[in-house]
Amino acid sequence: MQLQDFGFGTQIRKSPYFDATVRWGAAGFSVYNHMYIPRDFGDPEQNFWNLVNDAILCDVAVERQVEITGPDAAQFVQMLTPRDLSKMAVGQCKYVLICNAEGGILNDPILLKLAEDHFWLSLADSDILLWAQGVAVHSGLHVSICEPDVSPLQLQGPKSGQIMEALFGPEIMDLRYYWFREMELDGIPLVVSRTGWSSELGYEIYLRDSTYGDALWQRIMAVGMAFGLKPGHTSTIRRIEGGMLSYHADADIHTNPFELGLDRLVNLDMEADFIGKFALQRMRDNGITRKQVGLVIDGDPMTGPNTAFWTVNAGGAPVGKVTSAVYSPRLKKNIALAMVDIAVAELGTGLEVLTHQGETTATVVERPFYDPRKRLAATGAAAPAQALA
Amino acid sequence: MQLQDFGFGTQIRKSPYFDATVRWGAAGFSVYNHMYIPRDFGDPEQNFWNLVNDAILCDVAVERQVEITGPDAAQFVQMLTPRDLSKMAVGQCKYVLICNAEGGILNDPILLKLAEDHFWLSLADSDILLWAQGVAVHSGLHVSICEPDVSPLQLQGPKSGQIMEALFGPEIMDLRYYWFREMELDGIPLVVSRTGWSSELGYEIYLRDSTYGDALWQRIMAVGMAFGLKPGHTSTIRRIEGGMLSYHADADIHTNPFELGLDRLVNLDMEADFIGKFALQRMRDNGITRKQVGLVIDGDPMTGPNTAFWTVNAGGAPVGKVTSAVYSPRLKKNIALAMVDIAVAELGTGLEVLTHQGETTATVVERPFYDPRKRLAATGAAAPAQALA
């Protein structure tokens, strides 16, 4: 695939790492938050093994930041999410949901608290900049909301700790899971957090001046190569193994937090007001009618992720849809996330899935599919972001 | 380019015409409003000639609709745009700007008034659904805001009138420029408007039930082939010839309407309040510091659109950027839209452009580059949408 194929000229933005990723072998791109993201450095299974055995460096500049500052910033940010932020410290990250007035999910970003009156939302794929600016119009709160010049990289995998130590010195090993620090590397201004979208030990490195994109990428690769670092991309295999959401695929404006089992991100009993509180209270009281489950799908190994939502049947009647599916070469199984009627959501339930190759059988299983806690004792790696953060 | 290259599974939506466009030769896709849009049916120059000589059918389902209904819908929609809507009739379309509180442009949609309390915004590429829902939160107005199941096609080109007559009967010829009708075709529910993004005579056909995507595409192609209709995509060549904006490329949140010469879309003296009124009044009073111009760029014919913003210099000093550029095979010139300092915006000014192939010279010229009024007398076709609508 050539970029020229798109024919869109400058309508889609390029990451500050774009030239570097092309030089390092990026052969295919997708689009996320109006920006190109490399999604092809060769065999995706090899990318998965690079991630789980060593480390990969991923251009995730598409995770655009929404910066909220001003005297009312803390109150405003709390208004944007059902998660209780009252105990959040400066230097901390939190995985949060952004819900609309109906309790539907608009995004599932990482929130960073840079100061008492200074926040970033590190976004999944939707224009929360517009949502937040829109909410602010009649809010009566004093806030400034913009997209700053910030472009994250993800350094993920079991070797990422050693690479970070080689880059930043031994103090970086004190950085706790879901905390961040403002740092410099060769004079390049950064925020460094222990977060990621891989369910592996990992870090996000937020570049705060896009003119250094090439220099930062080169520096990390140069240091990392001795540890087996490879250029890569977020792994669909690993994130489904870890039961992590992909916005638009597994959740959208019509999905509510309870359907995803994310009750812990909704604090309905806190005093503070937030958008969607009434709708979410009603949902909690009334209960849900459908639920996200894990599925193991029988049949030959899938050759790639599903490119359409597959209908899920129970005894021939439709009961839901597969939202994300892939073959895990580690588990040697086709694994999937699906949204199904609550009546068929119990572990062990047998279902049918209409794949693009025909109908097959499937079984409801626990998520995550691969339990990193078994590795924790041995490696010191963290549990998946969305499970604990 | 294969879709599988993206590796994003279901994270990006497919249009209801997706299968039809693949069957009819779509070989490359881009992404717009979180949905695939076909951008490659072979040679883009041939697509241009198909458009200007005959007619093309384009899948523009990516122009998602924001539907605003409810007792306060009219007041709310006026709040969203600086254009005076007080005289807008049911059945009418208007080209409008959506601005934030700072007067920056968030989108440039077509507004359709389906009833006194029922509106659609047919979007360029940004999540105005989130902006509008966000604005509504604290507005105190009674509105419902959603994305309905509506997916437009564009039928554009000088033969489009005859094709529409063959499809809908002779009454369709009464449909005036920037008006629409609710219609049916073989029982398929539609809205049909005389609008488009081509600067040619053309229609948009808004499908109101996505299950009919394949049937509608097939029906139009079957009838249109006798008139020379070809499957196609919006033409970068034709839209730049027509001086039409591409959001993110030629305008973004940091661009204001006056810089684009779109003063006619900003009615600061109307009584009604709208978002950005104060900021836009200040801009009008203070004047602008930069302005969009047309450029003719010297040198060999460009082989495709620019894929980066090119720096524009005057006497060696930077004065702006080329936002969209392409070779027009009709004008036999490289033509471009650029945002430059007001001091160098006069017609005839000589400038330098740093293209990806090196520095060349350019001259400020009038937009649109191709004046359709010369054709109007002969064909009865309309002037470009954004010039008159």
Nearest CB to A130; choose among B130, B247, B325: B130
Amino acid at B74: A
Residues of A in contact with B138 (CB under 8 A): 135, 137-140
The answer to whether residue A5 scores a pLDDT higher than 60 is no
Region(s) of chain A under CATH 2.40.30.110:
289-389
**Cβ atoms within 10 Å, residue B186:** 9
What average pLDDT does range A297-324 have in this prediction?
Answer: 96
What average pLDDT does range A265-288 have in this prediction?
Answer: 97
pLDDT number for residue A58: 98
CA distance B170 to chain A (A): 36
pLDDT cut 90: percent of chain A above it: 89
Tell me the pLDDT band of B357, cut-offs 50, 70 and 90.
confident
Mutate to test the interface with A, among B3, B34, B324 (most CBs of A within 10 A): B34
Query: What ipTM goes with this model?
Result: 0.94
pLDDT number for residue B199: 85
pLDDT number for residue B161: 97
Put simply, the answer to whether A138 touches B139 (Cβ < 8 Å) is yes
CA distance B116 to chain A (A): 24
pLDDT cut 70: percent of chain B above it: 93
Please, are residues B48 and B235 in contact by the beta-carbon 8 Å criterion?
Answer: yes
Measured CA to CA in angstroms, residue B337 lies from A187, A341, B362 at distances of: 37, 52, 11
Nearest CA in chain A to B251: A11
**Cβ atoms within 10 Å, residue A70:** 16
How do residues B206-244 score in pLDDT, each as one tens digit?
999 999 999 999 999 999 999 999 999 999 999 999 999
pLDDT number for residue B356: 84
The answer to whether residue A34 scores a pLDDT higher than 80 is yes
- Bridge-partner residues for A35, per DSSP? A13, A32
| Buried-exposed string B224-248: b where 16+ CB fall within 10 A, e elsewhere | beebbbbbbbbbbbbbbbbbbbbbb
The answer to whether residue B380 scores a pLDDT higher than 70 is no
What average pLDDT does range B19-25 have in this prediction?
Answer: 95
Nearest CB to A28; choose among B6, B14, B29: B6
Per-residue tokens: A356: 């693009």
How do residues B251-303 score in pLDDT, each as one tens digit?
999 999 999 999 999 999 999 999 999 999 999 999 999 999 999 999 999 99
The answer to whether residue B379 scores a pLDDT higher than 90 is no
Distance CA B17, CA B21 (A): 6
pLDDT number for residue A357: 86
How do residues A118-146 score in pLDDT, each as one tens digit?
999 999 999 999 999 999 999 999 999 99
Distance CA A87, CA A89 (A): 6
Nearest CA in chain B to A37: B6
Burial label for B301, CB within 10 Å (0-12, 13-18, 19+), is: exposed
Per-residue tokens: B328: 């027009």
What average pLDDT does range B40-55 have in this prediction?
Answer: 96
How do residues A149-204 score in pLDDT, each as one tens digit?
999 999 999 999 999 999 999 999 999 999 999 999 999 999 999 999 888 999 99
Nearest CB to B44; choose among A7, A147, A253: A7
Region(s) of chain B under CATH 2.40.30.110:
289-370
Region(s) of chain A under CATH 3.30.70.1400:
65-144+256-286
How do residues A354-386 score in pLDDT, each as one tens digit?
998 899 999 999 999 997 666 543 343 444 444
CATH architecture of A3-63+150-240: 2-Layer Sandwich (3.30)
Please, are residues B37 and B62 in contact by the beta-carbon 8 Å criterion?
Answer: yes
Residues of B in contact with A128 (CB under 8 A): 130
What average pLDDT does range B78-100 have in this prediction?
Answer: 98
Put simply, the answer to whether B133 touches A132 (Cβ < 8 Å) is no
**Chain mean pLDDT for chain B:** 93
Put simply, the answer to whether B137 touches A135 (Cβ < 8 Å) is yes
pTM passes above 0.90? yes
CATH architecture of A289-389: Beta Barrel (2.40)
Region(s) of chain B under CATH 3.30.1360.120:
3-64+150-240
Residues of A in contact with B43 (CB under 8 A): none
Per-residue tokens: A82: 């059902």
Widest CA span in chain A: 62
pLDDT number for residue A374: 60
Nearest CB to B304; choose among A4, A106, A140: A4
pLDDT number for residue A367: 94
pLDDT number for residue B93: 98
CATH of domain B3-64+150-240: 3.30.1360.120
Nearest CB to B30; choose among A31, A140, A326: A31
Q: Which of A59, A53, A57, A56 is nearest to A36 (CA)?
A: A59
The answer to whether residue A214 scores a pLDDT higher than 70 is yes
CA distance A169 to chain B (A): 35
Q: Which of A20, A11, A233 is nearest to B5 (CA)?
A: A233
Tell me the pLDDT band of B4, cut-offs 50, 70 and 90.
very low
Residues of B in contact with A5 (CB under 8 A): 1, 27-28, 39-40
CA distance A159 to chain B (A): 25
CA atoms B180, B181, B182, B186: torsion sign: negative
Residues of B in contact with A323 (CB under 8 A): 10
Put simply, the answer to whether B7 touches A129 (Cβ < 8 Å) is no
If you count residue pairs, one on A and one on B, with CB atoms under 8 Å apart, how many are there? 191
Residues of A in contact with B309 (CB under 8 A): 10
The answer to whether residue B78 scores a pLDDT higher than 80 is yes
pLDDT number for residue B371: 78
Residues of A in contact with B308 (CB under 8 A): 10, 14
Put simply, the answer to whether B34 touches A126 (Cβ < 8 Å) is yes
The answer to whether residue A8 scores a pLDDT higher than 70 is no
Residues of B in contact with A28 (CB under 8 A): 1, 5-7
pLDDT number for residue B279: 98
CATH architecture of A65-144+256-286: 2-Layer Sandwich (3.30)
Nearest CB to B10; choose among A6, A125, A324: A324
Tell me the pLDDT band of B71, cut-offs 50, 70 and 90.
very high
Return the CATH fold of B289-370.
Elongation Factor Tu (Ef-tu); domain 3 (2.40.30)
Mutate to test the interface with A, among B8, B252, B310 (most CBs of A within 10 A): B8
Burial label for B6, CB within 10 Å (0-12, 13-18, 19+), is: buried
